[in-house]
Chain A
Amino acid sequence: MNVGYLYSLLAVIVLGLIAYAGVEAAGLQWLFGILIPYLGLTIFIAGFVYRVMDWAKSAVPFRIPTTCGQQKSLPWFTPNRIDNPATTLGVIVRMFFEILLFRSLFRNTRVEIRGERLSYKWVIWLWLFALMFHYSFLIVVIRHLRFFLEPVPWVITLLEKADGVLQVGLPILYISGVTLLLGATLLLLRRVLIPRINYISLAADYFPLLLIIGIAITGIMMRYFTKVDVLKVKELTMGLATFHPAIPEGGISGLFYVHLFFVSILLAYIPFSKLMHMGGVFLSPTRNLANNNRRIRHINPWNHPVKVHTYEEYEDEFREKMIEAGLPVEKE
Chain B
Amino acid sequence: MNDRGKIIAGLIIFFAVFTFPFWYNHGAASSVPEPKLTDKAKAAKTCVADTQFMRTEHMKLLDAWRDTVVREGGRVYTNENGKEFMASLSNTCMDCHSNKTEFCDRCHNYVSSDPYCWDCHTYPKEEK
- Touching in the complex, A and B, CB below 8 A? yes
Determine the chain A residues whose CB is within 8 A of the CB of B7 once the complex forms. Answer: 52-53, 55-56, 283
Q: How many residues of A contact B (CB 8 A)?
A: 45
Give bound CA distance, A138 to B107, whole Å: 26
Report A200-254 residues with CB < 8 Å from chain B CB: 227-231, 234-235, 238-239, 241-244, 248
Q: Is there an interface contact between A171 and B59, defined as CB atoms closer than 8 Å?
A: yes
Of the listed residues B21, B26, B107, B111, the one surrounded by the most CB atoms of chain A closer than 10 A to its CB is B21
Q: How far is the CB of A34 from chain B (nearest CB, A)?
A: 14
Q: Is there an interface contact between A171 and B11, defined as CB atoms closer than 8 Å?
A: no
Across the two chains, which residue of chain B brings its CB closest to A240?
Answer: B21
Give the interface segment out of A21-29, A153-161, A185-193, A315-323: A153-161
Across the two chains, which residue of chain A brings its CB closest to B59?
Answer: A170
Report B110-126 residues with CB < 8 Å from chain A CB: 110-116
Q: B1 is contacted by which of A156, A235, A244, A298 (Cβ under 8 Å)?
A: A298
Q: How far is the CB of A100 from chain B (nearest CB, A)?
A: 15
**Secondary structure of the B contact surface, majority rule:** helix
Across the two chains, which residue of chain A brings its CB closest to B12?
Answer: A49
Across the two chains, which residue of chain B brings its CB closest to A147?
Answer: B111
Q: Is B81 an interface residue (CB 8 A)?
A: no
Q: Is there an interface contact between A157 and B112, defined as CB atoms closer than 8 Å?
A: yes
Q: Is B25 an interface residue (CB 8 A)?
A: yes
Determine the chain A residues whose CB is within 8 A of the CB of B22 once the complex forms. Answer: 241-243
Q: Is there an interface contact between B30 and A242, defined as CB atoms closer than 8 Å?
A: yes
Q: What are 11 inter-chain pairs, A to B, with CB distance below 8 A?
A: A52-B10, A53-B7, A55-B7, A152-B109, A157-B112, A157-B114, A170-B115, A235-B32, A244-B29, A248-B32, A283-B7
A residues with a Cβ closer than 8 A to B are: 45, 48-49, 52-53, 55-56, 59-60, 63, 145-152, 156-157, 160-161, 167, 169-171, 227-231, 234-235, 238-239, 241-244, 248, 282-283, 298-299, 301
B residues with a Cβ closer than 8 A to A are: 1-4, 7-8, 10-11, 15, 18-22, 24-30, 32-33, 52, 55-57, 59-60, 62-63, 107, 109-116
Given A49-B15, A146-B112, 14 new contacts (CB under 8 A)? A45-B15, A52-B10, A53-B11, A56-B7, A60-B3, A145-B21, A149-B25, A157-B112, A170-B115, A231-B110, A234-B110, A238-B30, A242-B25, A242-B30
